[in-house]
Each structure stands twice: as structure tokens, then as C-alpha cells.
Structure 1
């Protein structure tokens, strides 16, 4: 048994469905659109995560996930995301869900709660299912999550981000959120034995920036979806 396999096995033993469900019920969702939610992970996400992480068009622009991706990898990720919280216990990893499909996982976002003066770390990470791209969903979701968690709750003002060079869709998302490309600071990552260059981005919010920064409002959910959720 490899060290990575042993790690997955150890995590699986802690992947308690009841704890995941209790955590899901404890944190109210945030509505990105009238049909799309941001909320914490839940047990049934493992199959959808498995399916999406095996899509080449998603894996192509992610640094970390193994390929091919297994259900054990899904369990490991969800258990790790469950444990990844701020100092006051707030979840730092949220899922994007299509509530017209019963809350099916369609993407995820993670943020950091501490400021980093260096440009070598990532304070945001995200992916979105191909069929939901080009609709502004990720841009608003990332703005909302940064605003409500990192900026308001944690008081974070300095952010770093990276994306593969020539991943223009991800670059546009970061720039719409407020990140600024750092020319000449490109870095690299080794993936599948190949060295891939990465753009570096920075967002530094001064007090004057906070005074003029756009306030992102949650969407009003479709009444039918809200009524259905309240009946659960």
C-alpha cells in the first residue's frame, strides 16, 4: 500500500456522513443566482466530484487532482475540505449547486482567511462544470464568497492567485473580481511530468478601495426552490 493510498484510507474512516449532513444543515447557503447556491460539502457530492474530475476539460487547468480520479480521491478531498475551516470554525471550501437538479454539485471555490505577503501562495481556487461556463456564475460566486467570508468576516485585504498561462477564461474571472496581473512574476508548476508556466495575480484592498468596492448582493431564489428547501 502506497503512502497516498494509506492517507486516503485513513481519511475514509473519518468521512462521517452524519457529520457532513449536520455541517451542511448548520450553514445557510448563499444564492449566486435564483437557481445556483453556494453551500458546504455533503456526502452525495462524491459521485459528481468523481465524474467532473475525470473530465479532461476540467483536469487540464487544475494543478493538484490525480488523473484518472477515483471515488477514494473524492472521499479524500471532501474529508479534507470538511476539516479546512477558519480559526472560528467557518468553512473555507464551498460548493456551487444547481438547485433545479436537487442541489447537484457543479463546481467549488476555496478561499484563505489569512493574509500572505508573498506571491507564492494561492488564496483562491475554483472550478466550474463546462456546461455552466460563460454565464458569469463563477465571477459572481467568487466575488460573493470573498466579500462575505474573507473580507467581511476575516478582515483579509491581501490576496494572491495563480492560473496557467493562456487560461484566459480564468484570467478574466480573476480580473473581474479585482485581481491584477503581475507581469514578470510568472512561476511554474510540474504536472504530469511537464513544467507549466503560471500567471501570478494580486489583489490588495486599501481602505479607500473598501469605500468604493462594489457590494455584491445575494440573488433572490426562485420561490418554488425556496419553498422546497424550507420543507426539508
Structure 2
């Protein structure tokens, strides 16, 4: 089974392949709320990260992080519990899920000598999959809202769902191929087998060359470039940015 199981903490997780097997992707942990929020505040106020993101508020405050982690824990718990049950009872039915609870990228700093279970780790990034927002239809348009509505109404496992993927990684870990393998791992170990993903699109600001390389290495192709398209909040400098839309061609 592509999903691993920490017998020490009872936590399911994904593990990157060699030579990056010290990197894992886990659900959020409410037990580490303070630690996680501190790491998020540090990373999401880093210019090399927040200037390439559209969604999180800036400046990113502790209350933003606390709300986010609690919501992610609540949203992910049903899936995490179901996966845990699969390990404890291999005969448990394995349905398609409507989300991926494995979003927190961590570097393992200590593992069990006999089991190999991660015992200590540090948060270094985030990766998430959501239903696609249809950026090419234009912000605030009825056409975009209708496309989102129809896509969101499709049931879990429906191969017609258009998904999207986004991520960020600590600058201290750039240049090591971590995000390329993290994206590949999430797709091949969870997105395809457990969400039945067939359609996947995403985007990056045109100047975000690092993310565009990660997409390229994961078999995405450029669909189009939308010039001066995405509105930028005043806290991030205002104006608009050009978006590159990419489409996944499969594993």
C-alpha cells in the first residue's frame, strides 16, 4: 500500500522515494498546533514564498495559522480515521475519497531504529489539492462561478472532477528536488489510487520559475499565459500579475 503507517503514533503518512526518503507528508497535527503555527508564520511571511502565493493573507499572523490548522484537522479527520481503520483491518472497504489529508511536508530528524517509524520531524512546507478554480474564466465572472459550481457538485471519485494542486517549500530546502518528488508522490500514492484523479490543472505566476519547473518535471504542459490577469492584494503590492495555466498529462 502506498500509504505508510507510523506504528508509534498511529499516523498514516506518505514518504518520498530514495534519495529523499527522509521527507514525509503527513496530515496536520492538532497536538503540535503551537509548533506548526510558528513555522507557518515564519514561512508565509518570507518574500520568496508569499509573493508567489495568491491565497494566504499577508502579513500572515498567528491567528491565521491557528484557524487554518484547526480547520484542516477537522476536515481531514474522517479520511485519516478511515485510512487508519484500513491498516488495523485490511479487509476494510477502500472507497474513493474527496480530498487528500496529506498536506504537511516534513523532514524526519529521528526515526525508530527497528521500525523506521518517524519519531521526530520538522515542518518544511505544504502541498494541497482542491477542486479547480477555473482561473482562465476570469475573476468574479458568472461563467467562472458556474464552472466551479458544476465541478464542485460532482461526487467523490468521479473522473470528470477537475482538480488543482499547489505548494510551498522553505527556502532552506530549495534546490534539492523535494517539491518535484513531493508532488509526484502525492499524485501517484494518493491522488490517482484514492481520489481517482484524471483531470488536473493548476497555475503559477509567470515569474515563479521554480514552480513552473516542478510542474514540467511532473508531466504538466503549459496551456496558456493570461497576461495581467490575477488581482494582487494591496498588502502584496497591488495591481495584477500574469498567470501561466498548466494541464497534467498523467503519470
For normalisation by structure 2, the TM-score amounts to 0.64
Correspondences of 1:125-204 after superposition (within 5 Å): 125-183=166-224, 188-192=229-233, 193-204=238-249
Instruction: Give the C-alpha shift of residue 88 in structure 1.
Output: 4.1
Does structure 1 residue 40 correspond to structure 2 residue 40? Answer: no
Q: If each structure's strand is expressed as a fraction of its own residues, which one has the higher value?
A: 2
- Provide the C-alpha distance between the structure 1 equivalents of 2:190 and 2:227, rounded to a whole number of angstroms: 28
Match of 1:72 in 2: 63
Match of 1:110 in 2: 128
**After alignment, is 172-181 or 81-90 more displaced?**
81-90
Superposed CA offset, 1:183-225 (max 9, x none): 35567221122211110001144xxxxxxx4xxxxxxxxxxxx
Correspondences of 1:49-88 after superposition (within 5 Å): 49-85=40-76, 88=97
- Provide the C-alpha distance between the structure 2 equivalents of 1:65 and 1:90, rounded to a whole number of angstroms: 19
- Provide the C-alpha distance between the structure 2 equivalents of 1:72 and 1:95, rounded to a whole number of angstroms: 18
- Provide the C-alpha distance between the structure 1 equivalents of 2:168 and 2:44, rounded to a whole number of angstroms: 10
SS at match of 2:128: strand
Instruction: Give the C-alpha shift of residue 26 in structure 1.
Output: 4.7
- Provide the C-alpha distance between the structure 1 equivalents of 2:231 and 2:224, rounded to a whole number of angstroms: 21
Give RMSD over aligned pairs.
2.6
For normalisation by structure 1, the TM-score amounts to 0.69
- Structure 1 unpaired stretches of 5+: 1-24, 206-212, 214-232
SS at match of 1:124: strand
User: In the alignment, is the contact (CA less than 8 A) between 1:108 and 1:127 conserved in 2?
Assistant: yes
Superposed CA offset, 1:126-178 (max 9, x none): 00000101110000010000111211111111101000012111100001111
- Provide the C-alpha distance between the structure 1 equivalents of 2:209 and 2:10, rounded to a whole number of angstroms: 37
Match of 1:218 in 2: none
SS at match of 1:64: coil
Superposed CA offset, 1:68-127 (max 9, x none): 111001012212322445774764451111112731110010013x6x695657610100
User: In the alignment, is the contact (CA less than 8 A) between 1:117 and 1:158 conserved in 2?
Assistant: no
Question: Relative to 1, partners in 2 of residues 1:57 and 1:169: Cα closer, same or farther, differing over 3 Å?
Answer: same
User: In the alignment, is the contact (CA less than 8 A) between 2:129 and 2:165 conserved in 1?
Assistant: yes
- Provide the C-alpha distance between the structure 2 equivalents of 1:79 and 1:135, rounded to a whole number of angstroms: 30
- Counterpart of 2:106 (choices 79, 97, 103) is 97
Q: How many residues align?
A: 181
- Provide the C-alpha distance between the structure 2 equivalents of 1:67 and 1:184, rounded to a whole number of angstroms: 25
Segments of 4+ moved more than 2 angstroms: 79-93, 116-122, 183-188
